[in-house]
């Protein structure tokens, strides 16, 4: 018995949610994610906060929240940065530092930090080299991903589905979980 156009359309529409909701491979957007519970990928990038460069080794002995974001001054990036700044004291209580990374240059970072009153460093990954190591690069931008690195330099958690309005609270909750365990 031949299939009618209506039946074909209906079966296609019923299959659509499975296609849309299917999990995407980390390889598909930004590249492979670094493995959790392994040493975090090393980095050394120029910073806008008065120091010449910051490296992973500079954070030994404390927790590091390393967050990648697309562009200084855009609405989502501004909201995410403001939320981290707003919660900075809570991170300090947990012996954790916040560091942002994007492909913007140092002058853009300086303006962004000044405009938003940010007191944590922003690193300039203008060629995307570190973003690529963290699976957070979709040229010409870093993707909105966050990584929690423990005091020994081991990657303990990653966030690849970031919602800027609640993200800082999610990171704090995960940090509490990791520190309690």
CA dihedral of 149, 64, 170, 50, whole degrees rounded to 10:
-150
Q: How many CB atoms lie within 10 A of CB 82?
A: 16
How far is Cα 73 from Cα 47, in angstroms, rounded to an integer? 17
For the chain, the straight-line distance linking the first and the last C-alpha, in angstroms and rounded, comes to 61
| 100 touches 74 (CB < 8 A) | no
How far is Cα 29 from Cα 96, in angstroms, rounded to an integer? 28
Catalytic residue (choose from 64, 65, 77, 101): 77
Told to judge if 77 belongs to the known catalytic residues of this protein, a careful annotator would answer: yes
- Tokens 């501004």 appear where? 78
Query: DSSP E strands: which ranges in 18-154?
Result: 44-46, 53-55, 63-68, 96-102, 122-124, 137-138, 141-142, 145-149
Residues tagged active-site: 77
């Amino acid at each position: 018995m031949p299939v009618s156009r209506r039946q074909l359309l209906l079966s296609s529409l019923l299959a659509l949610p499975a296609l849309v909701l299917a999990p995407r491979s980390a390889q598909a957007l930004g590249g492979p994610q670094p493995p959790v519970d392994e040493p975090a990928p090393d980095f050394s990038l120029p910073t806008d906060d008065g120091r010449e460069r910051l490296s992973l080794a500079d954070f030994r002995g404390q927790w590091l929240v390393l967050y990648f974001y697309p562009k200084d001054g855009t609405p989502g990036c501004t909201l995410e940065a403001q939320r981290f700044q707003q919660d900075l004291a809570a991170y300090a209580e947990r012996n954790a530092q916040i560091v942002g990374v994007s492909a913007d240059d140092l002058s853009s970072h300086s303006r962004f930090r000044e405009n938003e009153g940010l007191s944590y460093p922003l690193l300039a990954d203008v060629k995307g080299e570190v973003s690529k190591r963290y699976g957070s690069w979709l040229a010409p931008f870093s993707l909105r991903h966050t990584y929690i690195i423990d005091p020994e330099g081991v990657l303990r958690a990653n966030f690849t589905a970031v919602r800027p309005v609640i993200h800082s609270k999610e990171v704090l909750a995960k940090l509490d979980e990791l520190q309690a365990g």
